[in-house]
Amino acid sequence: MPTLSNYVVITDNAITLPAGNVQNFAFDAPALNTAAPTILLFRVFPTPAAGLELTINGSVVFTVPAFNVAGGRSLHEVFQGLVLPAGNMLIATNTGAADVNITGVTLLFQT
């Protein structure tokens, strides 16, 4: 039987994170079935030496200490065990030494 997914667009705006900078994104999503995988989709346009860490509600879901090549790419991260109560927060942190641009951040989930 097919399984369907819901989604929430966290941000579609292009955000530039300078080195060491942090950006918070508040978003709403219904309660999750934590047994099902959740998928975070996003595009990044890093410069070499930029790093990125994405945290949802205190859980790190994606980390790259430093991108080694410039240029845009679409990325996704699949993870489980995420709890989405009211007042959810995605925190994007540039952990590297150069700028990184992020856009099209979308969360796919099952309820």
Report the CATH number that the domain containing residue 46 is assigned in CATH. 2.60.120.260
Domain with 19 in it: 6-109
The answer to whether residues 84 and 106 touch, using CB atoms and an 8 Å cutoff, is: no
20 lies in some domain: yes
> How confident is the prediction for the chain on average, in pLDDT?
87
DSSP letters, 41-101, are EEEEEEPTT--EEEEETTEEEEEES--SS-S-EEEEEEE------SSEEEEEE--SSS-EE
Each residue's pLDDT tens digit, 54-81: 998 888 999 998 888 888 999 999 988 7
Number of domains in the chain: 1
Q: What pLDDT sits at residue 68?
A: 84
1 located within any domain: no
Query: Residue 82's pLDDT band (boundaries 50, 70, 90)?
Result: confident
The model's pLDDT over 40-52, given as tens digits with 9 standing for 90+, comes to 999 999 988 899 9
Question: Would 19 be classed as within a structural domain?
Answer: yes
On whether the CB atoms of residues 105 and 25 are closer than 8 A, the answer is: yes
